[in-house]
Amino acid sequence: MIEKISKRLTIRLIDEGVVSLDEFEIYHYGMQLLLATLMEGFGLLILGILTGKVIETVLFVLMFGLLRIFAGGIHAGSYLKCFIVTAIVVFIGVQVVEILQYNFGFNFMLIMLIITNTIVYIFSPIDSPNKPLTDGEKVKNRRRSLLITFVGALIIVFFYKINPNLKYYLFIITFALFSESLTLIRVSRDKYFLLEVK
């Protein structure tokens, strides 16, 4: 469905003279990503409304997505599968944090942040089969991934120390970064663990 709509929109842009025919592939791919992102975001927002966890869902998706942009991770075989997997991760993540906040404290959050930073340091970035990264992009994305997780950890610790009542929301952010880091653990045939989603 996204494929067909994005193709029609791109053809329309060509017909209107906004885009040249030579740029069809670039704009078609960009349109697919835009539509998929909008639909996924809208769907996740509905999930947040239905579960009564809008703020938690938005926080989780923002932090998960921010790291994913630069670190990459496993990819589903279609936009629908991607949405389903993401929705499950967000829903389970928010529910797990609901339990964790009552049973675990700051030290547990700190351990999760250390694990997250370690995984990102070892594995990032993972590029997509549809859009392989150049060597320059790999270096840039690696730096940005490490910056996000390191600075994110510092901000989480800082705000927890200032106001421990923010623990629940800081746990959401921590668990979102942790969840995204787990999607980096995959194999390129010669090392680590195979978690590729087809």
Percent of the chain with pLDDT over 70: 86
> Region 20-30: what's the mean pLDDT?
72
| Polymer length in residues for the chain | 198
Predicted confidence at residue 104, as pLDDT, reads: 84
Structure confidence by residue, pLDDT tens digits, 141-195: 899 999 999 999 999 999 999 999 999 999 999 999 999 998 888 633 334 444 4
Model pTM?
Answer: 0.78
Domain layout of the chain by residue ranges: 1-51, 53-198
Asked whether the beta carbons of 127 and 72 are under 8 A apart, the reply is: yes
Cα–Cα separations (whole angstroms), residue 171 to 34, 97, 167, 180, 198: 29, 6, 6, 14, 30
- pLDDT tier, 21 (very low <50, low <70, confident <90, very high otherwise): confident
Query: Which two structure tokens, joined as six digits, stand for 50?
Result: 């239905």
Does residue 131 sit in helix, strand or coil?
strand
The more confident residue out of 153 and 99 is 153
Q: Provide CB contacts within 8 A for 125, sequence distance 6+.
A: 70, 71, 72, 133, 137, 138, 141, 142, 145
